[in-house]
């Protein structure tokens, strides 16, 4: 929605804009739908498989033709056979690009334009051999990366989805263990009997976050890297630990200021959804807790400021000795 001031006037017939009623001489505020903002808000909700813009620069903007060099040097290092072999490699790579086409043709068309540009460089001058070869290697590397990502997605996505589903089902079943958890907690720390559900809420948030991250990097961005598998495996555990941190911070620490909080009925605290919601949020976005902890540590250990010289004093500087020739 966009808000823009409008002078006092009779709105046109058929307009869907809503205007506030004001007295004479006072401007009205018209609230009208902004199609650009609404499109940005609803694009991801309407299309879950949206493809990100292709950010790869064309080869013509990265590699420029070479200036004519020494013909004798060129004939010494670049033979006719090298030019013919590179031409054949570019042709073979074009066929490989066509065979690797997907529903989204953005990469395919970009690769074909770059290979055409490489052919043009070879036709213009033999001195462009290095530039055409560089384009060939760039596209070969891009195709190898895409093929590697597809192979890794086929190998790990199903396992990771099953892993998160096991955590999800296990967390739902673990809700019934709340009474057993309370029985294990001694009466000296009776307030900790309420920590089980916040822990599970943090696990819920982490599991949903892991599923969304898996979908983002395997389907939308297509940049899944097995190096991050450890994060997927430890994410639910970290979510549960952060759920406990939220409970301790918002409940146990409050007991030092409110003496009656421990003696309040457990049903009253358990019926409150605030702590569960906060635990779910920090499980979903764990960076929030890390940022808060970093700020807390910085508040305990403030940075030391450099001593400034008093007015009228000349600062003492360490001069480096002159370099020997």
Domain boundaries, the chain: 2-46, 59-148, 185-300
* Backbone torsion region of residue 222, taken as left when φ is above 0, otherwise alpha when ψ lies between -120 and 50, otherwise beta: left
Token pair 């540009």 is found at 117
Q: What is the pLDDT of residue 25?
A: 43
Q: Are 51 and 219 in contact (CB under 8 A)?
A: no
Q: What is the pLDDT of residue 30?
A: 37
Q: What is the pLDDT of residue 162?
A: 97
Q: What is the pLDDT of residue 308?
A: 54
Q: What is the pLDDT of residue 169?
A: 95
Q: What is the pLDDT of residue 73?
A: 67
Q: Are 238 and 192 in contact (CB under 8 A)?
A: no
* Backbone torsion region of residue 51, taken as left when φ is above 0, otherwise alpha when ψ lies between -120 and 50, otherwise beta: beta
Q: What is the pLDDT of residue 254?
A: 59
Flag residues of the chain having pLDDT under 50: 1-49, 51, 53, 256-263, 266-271, 316-325
d(CA 269, CA 251): 10
Question: What distance, in Å, lies between the first and last C-alpha atoms of the chain?
Answer: 69
Q: What is the pLDDT of residue 207?
A: 95
């Amino acid at each position: 929605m966009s808000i823009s001031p409008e002078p006092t006037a009779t709105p046109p017939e058929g307009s869907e804009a809503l205007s506030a009623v004001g007295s004479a001489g006072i401007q009205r505020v018209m609230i009208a739908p902004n199609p650009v903002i609404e499109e940005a808000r609803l694009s991801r909700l309407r299309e879950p498989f949206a493809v990100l813009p292709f950010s790869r620069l064309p080869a013509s903007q990265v590699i420029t033709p070479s200036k004519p060099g020494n013909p004798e040097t060129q004939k010494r290092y670049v033979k006719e056979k090298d030019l013919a072999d590179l031409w054949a490699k570019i042709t073979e790579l074009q066929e490989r690009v066509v065979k690797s086409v997907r529903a989204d043709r953005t990469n395919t068309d970009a690769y074909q334009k770059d290979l055409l540009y490489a052919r043009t460089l070879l036709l213009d001058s033999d001195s462009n051999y290095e530039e055409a070869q560089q384009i060939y290697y760039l596209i070969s590397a891009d195709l190898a990366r895409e093929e590697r990502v597809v192979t890794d997605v086929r190998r790990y996505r199903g396992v990771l989805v099953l892993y998160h589903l096991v955590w999800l089902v296990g967390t739902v079943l673990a809700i019934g263990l709340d009474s057993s958890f309370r029985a294990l907690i001694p009466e000296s720390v009776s307030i900790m009997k309420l920590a089980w559900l916040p822990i599970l809420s943090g696990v819920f948030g982490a599991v949903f976050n892991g599923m969304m991250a898996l979908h983002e990097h395997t389907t939308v961005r297509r940049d899944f890297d097995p190096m991050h598998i450890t994060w997927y495996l430890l994410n639910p555990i970290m979510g549960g630990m952060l759920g406990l941190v939220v409970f301790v911070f918002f409940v146990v620490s409050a007991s030092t200021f409110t003496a009656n909080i421990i003696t309040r009925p457990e049903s009253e605290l358990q019926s409150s959804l605030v702590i569960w919601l906060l635990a779910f949020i920090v499980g979903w976005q764990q960076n929030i807790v890390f940022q808060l902890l970093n700020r807390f540590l910085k508040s305990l250990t403030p940075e030391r400021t450099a001593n400034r010289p008093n007015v009228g004093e000349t600062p003492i500087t360490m001069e480096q000795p002159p370099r020997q020739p």
